[in-house]
Structure 1
Amino acid sequence: MIHKIVEQVTNNIEKRSQETRQQYLNLMASMAQEKPTRGQLGCTNLAHVMASQTHDEKLIMKDTVSGLNVGIVTAYNDMLSAHQPYYRYPEMIKQHLYSHGLSAQVAGGVPAMCDGVTQGYAGMELSLFSRDTIALSTAVALSHQSFDSMVLLGICDKIVPGLLMGALRFGHLPALFIPAGPMATGISNSEKAQVRQQYVEGKIGDQELLESEVAAYHSPGTCTFYGTANSNQMLLEAMGLMLPGSAFEQPTSNVREEFNKQACEQIASNTQLSMLKQNKAIQLGHMVNAKSLVNAIVALLATGGSSNLTIHWIAIAKAAGYILTWQDMHDLSQVVPMICKVYPNGKADINAFHLVGGTAFVFNELLNAGLMHGDVLTISQKTFSQDILHSMRHWQNHYAKTLKQKMRDEILATYREPFDEKGGLTLLKGNLGQAIVKVSAVQHEHRVIKAPAKVFSDQLDVIDAFTNGELNHDVVVVLKGQGPKANGMPELHKLMPVLGSLQDHGFKVALLTDGRLSGASGKVLSAIHCVPEAAAKGMISRIVDGDVIHIDAVTGELNVLDVHLQERKSEFLAPVQKGVGRELFSVFRKHVTAADVGAISIDWEE
């Protein structure tokens, strides 16, 4: 039986979204009537589509009644370790699909930037906007109207949300994601974080830091901590948009190769079924529904996943005609327990998580607790409950023999005896507006603070103040002017070693910002995504040095004490908007919505 709060939140989403969801479904129905789309193309247009194909592939594509063609949208580049394995995926997909009588083409590539590279630099101000750019690029790729289904290749931070947002505008077609998996384990994430902290404290130099980082990020595959990239994979699996159990198999494993083959067989089957029977249930636009969205958020909360997804999944819901809110997430967090500890929420990495049961264990526990919708239809043409049974058997066959119970107990918990009674994210409200806190890695003694503000408009100034000893006291670092309208809402992960050092030296410390943090951020209390942002004249823009800030992640309070903010002017240092391509994105900054409604630069309703 489904938990009453989960059912209530799901019903609330459906009720408030009735009009917008129906508009979306009407649009998808009108697009579905044009299938098979290639049959609507003129001869010259169709010849362009087929020109580069082999003779046998052309025979399939000429058959515009029963010949099926799959569009591949790829985020491959070989600068991102997570996406480098995609290099040969299109050829593999084409070969497997051809053996089932289908053709396939790379419809297009989408940009894929790495936050780990741009962290703390000007390029990071393009990061959030790259999500909507990816959505637009996905739409451009699929706008050739030559495809009967979609295969989406993407893993990391803004890339999965962007691909899914774009693909949902072609939601009359079946689709699936094929992951590539995490890199092998290097040095531990906790050791890496310790070295970073030693560096900002001046105890080691550049060479020692570089050697540590290279030992952590050392081969193709996703970074091994549980940040935004791996949170994306967790949520896609929870929504049934990839094969169960496939998210965290390493790129070079034999099991990964078998998963890839199965994924190709599945998209072939789904494409054929969609074409022959007009089965709406396996079309992407019907698979992404209120129940699958709630399943995704429950998985995020139960595993202590990335705070970035509190923005991205609202945008994804919007693309499918749904209105998802921070309040929905908060309400779910009150009843969804934390049953997973992966760095930064624990010592283990994502490879260890996968070995001890991974997604199969987590989803099975949540289903048994009535916290996920088991009747959601997945890309396997089965229910989510059936998928998890299959995933549990897969784990038993491949990993159960090597299980170390002590390691499992450190990483996974049951819903009856969780690591924490509540989920890993919570919503703050007060006279400063709203903000999100990721509490999963914050120790209970650090979840409440009352301390004077030290106000900044540039994260590099925070680092300078730390270096100069100006922050050696109880402090709430207020970093304003970092929202989407101001400068694209960059991640501020570079502050974590600084603030972590202050906390380790016995000071009470917190961060308050209208910017974002990396999905890997953890132990310091951080009220982020503050809305309204400074550039929208939010109250955060009126805070000055010395104001006493009260942040309480237990009761959900966010207030400045004993001052009349309304009587002050809105002030913050306007950021530089040019250089490193930032000037090209001025239209995004002008039109972007607030963080709590997805920080979206695209007008779906126009």
Structure 2
Amino acid sequence: MSYTATPSLNATVAAVTERIRRRSAGTRADYLGHVDALRTRARGAERLGCANVAHAFAGMPANDKLRVVAERAPHIGIVTAYNDMLSAHQPYEGYPEQIRRDAAALGATVQVAGGVPAMCDGVTQGAPGMELSLFSRDTIAMSTAIALSHDVFDAVLLLGICDKIVPGLLIGALQFGHLPCVFVPAGPMSTGLSNKEKSKVREKAAQGLVGRAELLEAESKAYHGPGTCTFYGTANSNQMLLEAMGLHVPGAAFVHPHDGLRTALTREAVSTVLSLTRERRDVPIGVQVDERCIVNAMIALLATGGSTNHLIHWVAVARAAGILIDWSDFAELSTVIPLLSRVYPNGSADVNQFQAAGGPGFVLRELLKAGLAHADVATVAERGMAAYGEIPSLQDGKLTWTPLPDTPIDDSVVRTAVEPFGATGGLKLLEGNLGRSVIKVSAVPADKHIIEAPAIVFDAQEDLLHAFKAGTLEKDFIAVVRWQGPRANGMPELHKLTPPLAVLQGRGFKVALVTDGRMSGASGNVPAAIHVSPEALGGGPLAKVRDGDVIRLDAVAGTLQVLVPEAEWAARPLAERSQSLAESHGAGFGRNLFAGMRRNVSTAEEGACTWL
């Protein structure tokens, strides 16, 4: 099937999708061949040996054993990222028991197939544990594969929300592409201290104007209960993308954990995944996640100014389904995808206000109506993508979906495709003699989209923080923070750099960040060219930059250049990472256990995959 422009589909969206399809033809065919081979087998309880079957179901109640073995009842596997270290995942504690009850009422059986690790990046920001963060995604993918390797399930429910957890679960589930899968979210925490007020306190703390007690009080008021953090970072971007891919029950993303509607949506997830095993056998996850589905996720990310982390994660997700995408695909889509929402850090609203204004449903409805997303993708909802442009509610105890109004409920938070916040998407590709990188332009004021200033080179984020505290950064400069890529130290987020750089920008200095590391999904209003690829340790040009080199970051033209004569630049040798820095990147806090991943990881633009 080729994707050509039609009256209902934007020509650029069609062209990018077709380019991806052609590029991926061989790998996608290989993947689907594997999926098809697994779909034709007998059920696990009938295919496996008697000892295997006895082991698989030994711990189940006798009635459930009878159902799954003798009566051939559908058998659902749960892969859960539950722990109560993550506020977003704490509500999952009771989900398996609820799912068992709901499945039993529908004639099915359930087992928790396995748990996957889930770390909180908010806890590890600026700490050694952050160097395990990116690789936790592939660890989660492998853990998901181990859980499903028992090979006795007819369908899967995936319980995960946060940064690396959803991509990891999705990559792992795609290895079992013959199974129908539904993601089950748990929702955001209620609104606490506003994100804007929290950021103000952080900036004051960076300047020494408030102490630890005041900072801790503000942070605790912002992050105060069960549920996802309320800014539009990586975790909440995950939920937006899953809605755009049709992998949720429609509208499930941002309903509160303890709302009665949340319970009903989880019950509907059980009913939905069972319908995929009984009536709709043509929608296993490996078939569903095709080129159109991936492009819809990319479009949703651009239309909402979502997390820059997904220019890495969704490249990896696509590769897991045999689909090859790159940053140029994002960049071309961004030229026609309008910015339809403003949620912190792209605006002042949090995700609860976003949901109240129409949330993912409003954005997806507008994209579909304008021909800016594929309407013909397979989804877990029988009504297809149209269902994801509506909003769920409980009417007399019954779960229903209703259309959203044609005009925005709050046009400071969401806009129509006809009158968007911006004509182009919230993320942009930068290219030049420093490599390829990305920038979240939706969070950066327009007068800061072009920065030209001398470089100050740092080999670690701590060095920049020390320089700020010493008062030596009171000037125009572009901070180059290198040795932060996947091969060097696992590509940690450098979110701790946001407050001091924001303070300097607020004082009127022209500042920007250029790094082969990542920023948080809450990347702020300081221009940041991140994910620079190839990374310094892989021979990338960041290793050539010296203090005083003038760098031009131009988010309008899409360029990232060091303004050094071409011949001089070509002849300049690459700096080497110091032995002490190399040793610190690989020792302690479990980092040595990930040495193999650092050696084998692909580039950021290739998804930072450790399994290619």
Q: 478, 481, 501: which one pairs with 1:479?
A: 481
Q: 537, 541, 544: which one pairs with 1:535?
A: 537
Matched, 1:232 2:238: yes
1:439 counterpart residue number: 441
- Contact 1:449 1:508 (C-alpha < 8 Å) held by counterparts: yes
1:519-567 deviation line (CA, Å, top 9, x unaligned): 0112000000000100101001110100000110011011100242322
1:58-84 deviation line (CA, Å, top 9, x unaligned): 0112137x3221110000000100000
Q: Mean Cα displacement is larger for which, 176-185 or 253-262?
A: 253-262
Aligned AA (2:422): D
Per the alignment, in what secondary structure is the counterpart of residue 150 of structure 1?
A: strand
TM-score by length of 1: 0.96
Shift of 1:381: 2.1
1:556-589 deviation line (CA, Å, top 9, x unaligned): 0111002423222222344311100000000000
For 1:49-448, list aligned pairs within 5 A: 49-63=56-70, 66-273=72-279, 279-280=281-282, 282-389=283-390, 408-448=410-450
Per the alignment, in what secondary structure is the counterpart of residue 439 of structure 2?
A: strand
Aligned AA (2:573): K
1:83-113 deviation line (CA, Å, top 9, x unaligned): 0000000111111011111101000000000
Q: How far, CA to CA, are the matches of 2:403 and 2:251 in structure 1?
A: 14
Per the alignment, in what secondary structure is the counterpart of residue 528 of structure 1?
A: strand
Q: 28, 43, 50: which one pairs with 2:35?
A: 28
- Contact 1:440 1:522 (C-alpha < 8 Å) held by counterparts: no
Shift of 1:469: 1.1
- Contact 1:452 1:549 (C-alpha < 8 Å) held by counterparts: yes
TM-score by length of 2: 0.95
Per the alignment, in what secondary structure is the counterpart of residue 410 of structure 2?
A: helix
Aligned AA (2:386): S
Q: How far, CA to CA, are the matches of 1:399 and 1:205 in structure 2?
A: 49
2:515 counterpart residue number: 513
Q: Which runs of 5+ in 1 are unaligned?
A: none
Shift of 1:442: 0.2
Q: Alpha carbon RMSD of aligned pairs, Å?
A: 1.8
1:225-260 deviation line (CA, Å, top 9, x unaligned): 000000000000000000111100000111111111
1:496-530 deviation line (CA, Å, top 9, x unaligned): 00100000000000000000000011200000000
Classify 1:390/1:352 alpha carbon distance in 2 versus 1 (closer, same or farther; 3 Å).
closer
Aligned AA (2:236): N
Q: How far, CA to CA, are the matches of 1:216 and 1:51 in structure 2?
A: 45
Q: How far, CA to CA, are the matches of 2:408 and 2:76 in structure 1?
A: 45
Classify 1:288/1:213 alpha carbon distance in 2 versus 1 (closer, same or farther; 3 Å).
same
Aligned AA (1:105): Q
2:591 counterpart residue number: 582
1:584-606 deviation line (CA, Å, top 9, x unaligned): 00000000000001000013xxx
- Contact 1:154 1:160 (C-alpha < 8 Å) held by counterparts: yes
Classify 1:37/1:400 alpha carbon distance in 2 versus 1 (closer, same or farther; 3 Å).
closer
For 1:443-522, list aligned pairs within 5 A: 443-522=445-524
Matched, 1:567 2:576: no
1:253-297 deviation line (CA, Å, top 9, x unaligned): 1111111111111112112235xxxx33x1100110111111111
Q: How far, CA to CA, are the matches of 2:83 and 2:304 in structure 1?
A: 29
Q: Mean Cα displacement is larger for which, 365-374 or 37-46?
A: 37-46
- Contact 1:355 1:399 (C-alpha < 8 Å) held by counterparts: no
2:4 counterpart residue number: none
Per the alignment, in what secondary structure is the counterpart of residue 152 of structure 2?
A: coil
Q: How far, CA to CA, are the matches of 2:389 and 2:221 in structure 1?
A: 35
Shift of 1:427: 0.3
Q: Mean Cα displacement is larger for which, 242-251 or 571-580?
A: 571-580
- Contact 2:44 2:152 (C-alpha < 8 Å) held by counterparts: yes
Q: How far, CA to CA, are the matches of 1:344 and 1:38 in structure 2?
A: 50
- Contact 1:38 1:145 (C-alpha < 8 Å) held by counterparts: no
Q: How far, CA to CA, are the matches of 1:155 and 1:514 in structure 2?
A: 26
- Contact 1:360 1:391 (C-alpha < 8 Å) held by counterparts: no
- Contact 2:553 2:559 (C-alpha < 8 Å) held by counterparts: yes
Shift of 1:33: 2.2
1:336-393 deviation line (CA, Å, top 9, x unaligned): 0101000000001000110111111111111111101111121012221244246599
